[in-house]
Amino acid sequence: MFKIFSIGLVLALLTVPVAAETMITCGASEGYAYYLPQGLTGKVKAGWEKDKVSIGSIALTKNGNKVDILFKDVLGHLKSASSNGAKVTLLGFEAPNATVLASYKETMVEIYTFDLKGKNLVWSQHKYGTLLNKGATYFAKCY
């Protein structure tokens, strides 16, 4: 009985995730998007538009030598890019800037450049293969 309990305890401890370190968190984003004349957009609504993510947030996390992007969606749910199916890659780290790519297979790519000292974020999103194909660039203040 003790042996079964011990094995169960060890297996439970091995499945506990290691906490990731949050390097920086950023608030609402504002920018511009260009909507391509395809899908739901159509030719009439295609073109440049002011765009924002007013109730979201974005954070850069580090767990060992891996990075991830955490974000709150419009419903307030906390999600990570990697758990949403993205391949997350640190493209470069030249203090105080970190640039990260989140690539979602066949739907979207996002590039984030965090200014860790000035506490700013500039990020781009390119959606393709969806009903709303667009390219956008945003800015957010961080804390």
pTM: 0.83
- For 51, the token pair is 């765009």
Q: Is the pLDDT of residue 135 over 90?
A: yes
Got the DSSP string for 76-117? --EEETTTTTEEEEEEEEETTEEEEEEEETTTEEEEEEEETT
In this prediction, residue 6 carries a pLDDT of 39
Q: Dump pLDDT digits (tens) for 119-130.
A: 999 999 999 988
What is the Cα 78 distance to its own chain's centre? 11
Q: How many CB atoms lie within 10 A of CB 31?
A: 17
Report the percentage of the chain scoring pLDDT > 90.
Answer: 69
More confident residue, 93 or 39: 93
At 7, which helix (H) or strand (E)?
helix 2-14
Nearest to 122 by CA among 80, 49, 60, 77: 60
Q: Dump pLDDT digits (tens) for 8-53.
A: 333 333 333 457 899 999 999 999 999 999 877 777 789 999 999 8
